[in-house]
């Protein structure tokens, strides 16, 4: 190899790597997905606690891979007068069991919305990461390579869902992985496993699967569809006041 | 007077060193906290997000804006033939170098795993990432800037070789590589430097602008970054040159005075354009009322938690007062007032950066939640003061060691 060829190879290496890396990332065929039925969530917080234990996220930290938003909606005389009270459950302390929440929500429309990483098919966090610390698996799960992450936090800024955070101990970014270590062994994510009301449903988007059927037979929504991220977490019975 | 200035100089050096040490210790404690947990004043307002980019990132943006602006202003005199600005080129270049170096330290200590930074340089990098592109462009900029400075200072360094002490030694080391003709080469490298600076800086604007965050999002953010860089560059050049001349006991007159007047025009003009940009940005974001989260993103600045920062620090102190001082003939003709106007501008620009970074992120928001106020952790504040002191201290050292007398 002469010098010119060597330089050509080096010059071509970076774009070639980019193209190679981006291959197959947008395919949602047979990818994993979660369907959340908001009407079934009771805000018990079992999923949050289980997730934190399973994935070694400090229990007392507000930062969490999954969390539950509780909404209490007071509908006024006009559409502009809708008053929304929102509380967040992200630790073992459940704010929905507190007196102020229970009394404050009496007679109002109250519901709970579990949230997590949406494993977007067009994931902004992957696109912005300067060191390829984030990537898609072939089955559509967005993972973080914790040995590569430099902790610049650009992915946290870029994520429209607030689903990624800086791990308080590891000092690298962290987020939901759909419990990838479990699902590759044929198990379900812990949040799904421990949900007492089956509000969370998980599986592959393939013919005959439960999640596929749920999406087919119901009206589903994704969060912030206008961002064009193509989330893989779908919601049933989502109210208009929810922060998409 | 001479004795007095020496005392002030000694105090400046001592205080700077203390503040720098304090700043570094504070930043260290942010990464490796004491066993006793210290709570951040700003709590995350959603469980999975707080304000990930905070004061140090705002400071980083402030420094890169400064280095770009300083480089642009210096290149006007050096590369683009603005003869009146030639007397301040050296100050401009030195401050551009100092700010980018301190900037790299700032961002290096802000990144959580800085020891892995070599991944970017070693090719384990995502060329689609704006951050990657920005890093590479700034590395290139530093290289060009160093070469440009070396070429620009070369003639004077050759004269300085004869001096005794540290100044002579520095000059002898820097002039070891031989070069015959440097004038044209300096201009070529100067052009490359300013070109890279503009591209790198607009890339930083794009880094923010491409995000869906309402306050940032838009194609004009990179242009706005360049514009505000010129404001910072002109103001900092005035501040740096004025302080240097004051402590050297030199009266600002003749060509130097003309340079100040030219900077006054540049600063005044860019302040007016910045006002226009800011006003239209806010109006477009807020009108009509139904645009997606856009109106909310500016309401926090107009009458929310960031209103004091915006109206008093950004607009009044940073734009209106300096513009009045610069345009009134009585004050505009006196360098002391131009210096004061520049100081006000820099204070305003600094808070503009905080508002842009932290205010923008605070608005990543959501119905039913309160916006956090712009309050800061003491470690962040000490870190920021430390880095600002480091910049001032390095400028002082550079001024002492390099041949800063005006070229004839």
Q: Which of residues 157-216 of A touch B (CB under 8 A)?
A: 157-166, 171-172, 175
Q: What is the DSSP string of A2-14?
A: -HHHHHHHHHHHH
Q: Do A73 and A110 touch, CB atoms closer than 8 A?
A: yes
The mean per-residue pLDDT over the stretch A13-41 comes to 66
Helix spans in A27-148 (H)? 46-54, 99-104, 124-128
**Which residues of B make CB contacts under 8 Å with A?**
31, 43-44, 46-50, 52-53, 111-114, 116-117, 119-120, 123-132, 135, 207, 211-213, 292, 361, 364, 366-369
In a domain? residue A14: no
Residues in chain B closer than 8 A to A110 (CB atoms): none
Q: Quick one: which of A154, A127, A58, A143 has its CA closest to B110?
A: A154
pLDDT band at B38 (very low <50, low <70, confident <90, very high): low
Question: What span, in angstroms and rounded, lies between the C-alpha atoms of A226 and B2?
Answer: 66
Interface A-B, measured as beta-carbon pairs within 8 A, has a size of: 126
pLDDT(B45) > 80 = no
Conformational region of residue A142, where left means phi above 0, alpha means psi within -120 to 50, and beta covers everything else: beta
pLDDT of residue B120: 77
B246 by DSSP, 3-state: which?
helix
Q: What is the pLDDT of residues A96-143, one digit of tens each?
A: 999 999 999 998 999 999 999 999 999 999 999 999 999 999 999 999
pLDDT(A24) > 50 = no
Residues in chain B closer than 8 A to A127 (CB atoms): 126, 128-129
- Is there a contact between A13 and B369 if contact means CB atoms under 8 Å apart? no
Segment among B41-55, B156-170, B189-203, B253-267 with least mean pLDDT: B41-55
Q: Quick one: which of A236, A162, A241, A140 has its CA closest to B47?
A: A162
Residues in chain A closer than 8 A to B27 (CB atoms): none
What ipTM was reported for this prediction? 0.89
pLDDT band at A168 (very low <50, low <70, confident <90, very high): confident
pLDDT band at B37 (very low <50, low <70, confident <90, very high): low
Q: At what angle do helices B2-31 and B221-248 cross, to 10 degrees?
A: 140
- Is there a contact between A151 and B212 if contact means CB atoms under 8 Å apart? no
Residue percentage of chain A with pLDDT more than 70: 87
Q: Do B376 and B58 touch, CB atoms closer than 8 A?
A: no
- Is there a contact between B127 and A14 if contact means CB atoms under 8 Å apart? yes
Q: What is the DSSP string of B320-378?
A: IHHHHHHHSHHHHTSHHHHHHHHHHHHHHHHHHHHIIIIIHHHTS--TT-PPPP----H
Mutate: best of B46, B123, B133, B369, partner A, most A CBs <10 A: B46
Which pair of tokens denotes residue B295? 């109106």
Which pair of tokens denotes residue B107? 């961002």
pLDDT(A14) > 70 = no
**Closest residue in A to B122 (Cα–Cα):** A131
Residues in chain A closer than 8 A to B126 (CB atoms): 18, 21, 127, 129-132
Give the gap in angstroms from C-alpha A169 to the nearest C-alpha of chain B: 10
pLDDT of residue B40: 57
- Is there a contact between A153 and B52 if contact means CB atoms under 8 Å apart? yes
Question: What span, in angstroms and rounded, lies between the C-alpha atoms of A125 and B48?
Answer: 14
Burial letters B319-335, b for 16+ CB under 10 A, else e: bbbbbebbeeeebbeeb
Q: Which of residues 89-128 of A touch B (CB under 8 A)?
A: 90, 115, 124, 127-128
Asked if A30 has any chain B CB less than 8 Å from its own CB, the reply is no
Question: What span, in angstroms and rounded, lies between the C-alpha atoms of B203 and B190?
Answer: 20
- Is there a contact between B48 and A90 if contact means CB atoms under 8 Å apart? yes
**A105 or A81, higher pLDDT:** A105
Q: What is the pLDDT of residues B205-228, one digit of tens each?
A: 999 987 778 889 888 999 999 999
- Is there a contact between B48 and A64 if contact means CB atoms under 8 Å apart? yes
Mean of the per-residue pLDDT values of chain A: 87
In a domain? residue A8: no
- Is there a contact between B364 and A13 if contact means CB atoms under 8 Å apart? no
Mutate: best of A22, A133, A150, A155, partner B, most B CBs <10 A: A150
Asked if A32 has any chain B CB less than 8 Å from its own CB, the reply is no
Q: How far is CA B331 from CA A94, B257, B322, B373, in A?
A: 62, 14, 10, 36
Give the gap in angstroms from C-alpha A116 to the nearest C-alpha of chain B: 9
pLDDT of residue B53: 86
Backbone dihedral angles phi then psi of residue A236, each to the nearest 5 degrees: -110, 145
pLDDT(B25) > 50 = yes
Q: Which of B123, B132, B212 sits opposite A130 (nearest CB)?
A: B132
Backbone dihedral angles phi then psi of residue A67, each to the nearest 5 degrees: -150, 165
Mutate: best of B38, B47, B358, partner A, most A CBs <10 A: B47
Q: Which of A14, A148, A150 sits opposite B111 (nearest CB)?
A: A150
In a domain? residue A4: no
A221 by DSSP, 3-state: which?
strand
- Is there a contact between B123 and A13 if contact means CB atoms under 8 Å apart? yes
- Is there a contact between A157 and B130 if contact means CB atoms under 8 Å apart? no
> What residues have CB less than 8 Å from B211, skipping those under 6 apart?
A157, A158, B217
In a domain? residue A120: yes
> What residues have CB less than 8 Å from B318, skipping those under 6 apart?
B344, B345, B347, B348, B349, B351, B352
A110 by DSSP, 3-state: which?
strand
pLDDT band at A2 (very low <50, low <70, confident <90, very high): low
Q: How many Cα atoms are found within 13 Å in the side-chain-facing hemisphere of B184? A: 2
Domain residues for the domain of A45 are: 32-236
pLDDT band at B366 (very low <50, low <70, confident <90, very high): very low
Question: What span, in angstroms and rounded, lies between the C-alpha atoms of B107 and B111?
Answer: 6
pLDDT(B202) > 50 = yes
pLDDT band at A8 (very low <50, low <70, confident <90, very high): low
Asked if A85 has any chain B CB less than 8 Å from its own CB, the reply is yes
Asked if A22 has any chain B CB less than 8 Å from its own CB, the reply is yes
pLDDT of residue A216: 93
Which pair of tokens denotes residue B140? 């290139």
- Is there a contact between B367 and A86 if contact means CB atoms under 8 Å apart? yes
- Is there a contact between B292 and A226 if contact means CB atoms under 8 Å apart? yes
Q: Which of A62, A132, A226 sits opposite B126 (nearest CB)?
A: A132
Q: Quick one: which of B380, B406, B265, B369 has its CA closest to B326?
A: B265
Mean of the per-residue pLDDT values of chain B: 88
Which pair of tokens denotes residue A219? 């009206």
Residues in chain A closer than 8 A to B367 (CB atoms): 84, 86, 241, 243
Q: Do B133 and B93 touch, CB atoms closer than 8 A?
A: no
Rg, chain B, Cα only: 22
What CATH number is associated with residue A202? 3.30.70.20
pLDDT of residue A18: 42
Per the structure, the count of domains in chain A is 1
Give the gap in angstroms from C-alpha B145 to the nearest C-alpha of chain A: 24
Asked if A63 has any chain B CB less than 8 Å from its own CB, the reply is yes
Sign of CA dihedral B81, B63, B13, B153: negative
> What residues have CB less than 8 Å from B365, skipping those under 6 apart?
B45, B293, B296, B371
- Is there a contact between B48 and A157 if contact means CB atoms under 8 Å apart? no
Mutate: best of A21, A43, A71, A152, partner B, most B CBs <10 A: A152
- Is there a contact between B119 and A88 if contact means CB atoms under 8 Å apart? no
- Is there a contact between B111 and A90 if contact means CB atoms under 8 Å apart? no
Question: What span, in angstroms and rounded, lies between the C-alpha atoms of A196 and A192?
Answer: 9
Q: Which CATH class is domain B2-33+56-401?
A: mainly alpha
């Amino acid at each position: 190899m002469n010098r010119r060829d060597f330089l050509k190879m080096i010059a071509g290496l970076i774009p070639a790597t980019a193209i190679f890396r981006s291959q197959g990332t947008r395919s949602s065929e047979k990818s994993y997905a979660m369907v959340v039925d908001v009407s079934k969530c009771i805000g018990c917080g079992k999923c949050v606690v289980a997730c934190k234990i399973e994935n070694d996220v400090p229990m007392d930290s507000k930062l969490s891979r999954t969390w539950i938003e509780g909404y209490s909606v007071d509908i006024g005389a006009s559409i502009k007068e809708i008053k929304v009270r929102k509380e967040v459950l992200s630790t073992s302390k459940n704010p929905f069991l507190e007196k102020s929440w229970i009394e404050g929500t009496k007679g109002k429309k109250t519901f709970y919305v579990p949230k997590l990483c949406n494993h977007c098919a067009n994931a902004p966090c992957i696109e912005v990461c300067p060191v390829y610390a984030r990537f898609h698996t072939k089955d559509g799960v967005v993972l973080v390579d914790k040995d590569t992450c430099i902790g610049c936090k650009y992915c946290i800024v870029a994520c429209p869902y607030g689903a990624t955070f800086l791990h308080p101990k590891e000092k690298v970014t962290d987020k939901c992985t759909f419990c990838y270590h479990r699902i590759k062994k044929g198990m379900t994510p812990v949040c799904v496993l421990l949900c007492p009301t089956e509000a969370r449903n998980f599986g592959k988007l393939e013919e005959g699967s439960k999640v596929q059927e749920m999406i087919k037979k119901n009206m589903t929504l994704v969060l912030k569809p206008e961002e064009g991220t193509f989330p893989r977490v779908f919601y049933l019975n989502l109210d208009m006041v929810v922060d998409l | 007077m001479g004795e007095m200035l020496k005392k002030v100089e000694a105090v400046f050096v001592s205080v700077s060193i203390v503040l720098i040490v304090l700043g570094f210790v504070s930043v260290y404690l942010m990464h490796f906290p004491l066993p006793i947990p210290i709570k951040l004043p700003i709590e995350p307002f959603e469980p999975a997000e707080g304000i990930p980019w905070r004061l140090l990132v705002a400071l980083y943006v402030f420094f890169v804006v400064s280095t770009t602006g300083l480089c642009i202003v210096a290149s006007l005199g050096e590369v683009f033939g603005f003869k009146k600005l030639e007397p301040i080129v050296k100050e401009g270049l030195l401050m551009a170098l100092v700010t980018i170096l301190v900037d790299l330290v700032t961002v290096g200590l802000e990144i959580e795993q800085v020891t892995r930074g070599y991944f970017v340089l070693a090719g384990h990098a995502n060329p689609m990432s704006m951050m990657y592109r920005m890093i590479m462009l700034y590395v290139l900029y530093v290289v060009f800037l160093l070469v440009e400075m070396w070429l620009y200072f070369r003639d004077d360094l050759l004269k300085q070789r004869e001096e005794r002490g540290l100044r002579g030694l520095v000059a002898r080391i820097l002039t070891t590589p031989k070069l015959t003709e440097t004038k044209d080469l300096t201009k070529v490298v100067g052009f490359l430097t300013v070109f890279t600076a503009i591209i790198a800086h607009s890339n930083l604007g794009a880094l923010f602008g491409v995000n869906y965050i309402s306050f940032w999002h838009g194609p004009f953010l990179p242009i706005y970054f360049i514009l505000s860089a010129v404001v910072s560059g002109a103001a900092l050049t005035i501040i740096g040159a004025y302080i240097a001349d004051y402590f050297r006991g030199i009266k600002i007159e003749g060509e130097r005075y003309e340079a100040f007047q030219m900077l006054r025009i540049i600063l005044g003009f860019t302040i007016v354009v910045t006002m226009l940009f800011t006003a239209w940005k806010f109006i477009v974001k807020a009108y009509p009322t139904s645009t997606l989260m856009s109106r909310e993103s500016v309401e926090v600045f107009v009458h929310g938690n960031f209103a004091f920062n915006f109206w008093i620090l950004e607009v009044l102190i940073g734009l209106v007062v300096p513009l009045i001082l610069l345009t009134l003939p009585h004050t505009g003709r006196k360098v002391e007032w131009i210096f004061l106007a520049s100081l006000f501008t820099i204070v305003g620009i600094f808070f503009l950066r905080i508002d842009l970074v932290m205010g923008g992120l605070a608005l990543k928001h959501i119905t039913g939640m309160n916006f956090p106020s712009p309050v800061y952790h003491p470690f962040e504040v000490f870190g920021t003061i430390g880095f600002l002191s480091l910049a001032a201290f390095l400028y002082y050292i550079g001024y002492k060691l390099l041949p800063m007398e005006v070229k004839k």
